[in-house]
Amino acid sequence: MIWQDLAFATGSGFFVASLLPLIRSRDASVPRLTSVPTAFFIAVFAVAHASIGFYWAASTEALGSIAWWWIAWRKATNARA
């Protein structure tokens, strides 16, 4: 493993962990215009990192994308703000 893979994986893992309070909250909502593009582009980043052999980063980014898709499905509103 090279250090760049570990750096991206650590950062992505931190972002996934920081989503847990949002996921667990019963009252939280996120605009769909935020959650869907975020989920999509994190998935793109995961594919890009996997294509260059950064498998740890790709794995944590895939988890982040899954978390954002779940947020988009369960917590998203159509509000524009």
Report yes or no: 69 and 16 within 8 Å, Cβ to Cβ: no
Distance CA 52, CA 77 (A): 36
Q: What is the pLDDT of residues 16-60, one digit of tens each?
A: 999 999 999 989 889 999 999 999 999 999 999 999 999 999 999
Distance of CA 20 to the CA centre of its chain: 11
Predicted model pTM: 0.88
Tokens representing 49? Answer: 């990192």
Domain layout of the chain by residue ranges: 30-81
Asked if the model's pLDDT at residue 77 lies above 90, the reply is: no
Q: Which amino acid is at 21?
A: P
